[in-house]
Amino acid sequence: MIDNSCNFFHAGDIKLESGEVLPEAKLGYTTFGELNTAGDNAVLVLTHFGGTHENSQYLVGSEMALDPSRYFIVIVNLFGNGASSSPSHGMAQNFPTITMADNVFVQQQLLLKELGVKKLALVVGHSMGGVATYHWAALFPEWVERAAPICGAAKISDHNWVFLEGMRAILTMDPAWLGGMYEAQPIDGLRSIAKAWAAWPPSAGFYRQELYRTLGYSSLEDYLLNYWEKTYLSMDANNVLAQINTWQSANIGKNRIYGDDFIKALSSVSAKVYVMPSSTDAYFPPEDSRNEVSFMPAAELRAIKSEWGHWAGSGRCVADTTFINEQLLELLET
């Protein structure tokens, strides 16, 4: 059963990496299990693009690696996703670009000040959650014992950046967008971005084998309409763009700690890291992960052999989720 409850950490006005201020910032989060007296049995789970804490619970359970009887599990929403501070919260006109480093710095305050966490046994996340996982390991190496970025990267590649720029262009071409000052959602833009985005997360093999049928869709048309269009038409357009901004700007080396030294940031990761790319991921291919692993002192590449593309890490495919869970069980025993 999914826990839909959401708590909020009110961080006040926070100064961002850009120098801008996010007023009255709040982080939405949920927890499972209990923190031990040492404050070191915490597991941090980070959300993906378009997802919230409700979509990030598939690795949590009594028979899973993230067992609430052993660990204090905290699932934190990224800024811009509609649960944490987002443009849709009356901030459409002046919502700043929030980097992944900005997210992590506020998350650390949540764990320290509100929850009493002193150390993280594991940080894990899929997609943008995987990107955030890399940032945690680099920005707070003394906090993070283990990290497991799933289908993510420490820095967004030019290829990935160009994809996102295309999605931005599709959405904002809708005349109803009105420079972000719309009164009604730009439906045509959201519908168009859904159709364009649909080609990217699942692989060519996913479509060739019609794996969308395993998700309960009767045809390709049914899948495009009742998954992709339905998903994007439920989103706020400015929230979509805010998350694109965070994704595009992600780079563990580009912040006040490392300046712009990506290799130094990777080399500073002291955690035991299992990097889990999908063998068919168009966003974050294993070749990029292999390069990043080479610079981290205690990292291993544990690729997911899957036809599900980027969705290999999303909890949709039982075999892929089983593989990920096995890696997490092993990592937590190290």
Q: Which residues are catalytic?
A: 127, 281, 310
Q: Which of 107, 84, 103, 106 has the alpha carbon at shortest distance from 27?
A: 84
* Token pair listed for 50: 């378009």
Q: C-alpha angle with apex 173: 171 to 174, nearest 5 degrees? A: 80
Q: For residue 29, with 0-12 CB atoms within 10 Å meaning exposed, 13-18 middle and 19 or more buried, which class applies?
A: buried
Strands annotated E in the chain: 7-15, 21-32, 42-46, 72-76, 120-126, 146-150, 254-255, 259-260, 272-275, 299-301
Asked if residue 311 lies in contact with residue 202, where contact means CB atoms within 8 angstroms, the answer is: yes
Decide the pairing of beta strands 272-275 and 299-301.
Answer: parallel
Q: Which of 202, 194, 175 has the alpha carbon at shortest distance from 232?
A: 194
* Token pair listed for 228: 């992709």
Residues 6+ apart with CB under 8 A from 218: none
Sequential DSSP letters for 225-265:
IIIIIHHHHTS-HHHHHHHHHHHHT-BTTEETTTEE-HHHH
Separation CA 231–CA 180 (nearest Å): 20
Q: Which of 92, 316, 98 has the alpha carbon at shortest distance from 182?
A: 92
Asked if residue 197 lies in contact with residue 228, where contact means CB atoms within 8 angstroms, the answer is: yes
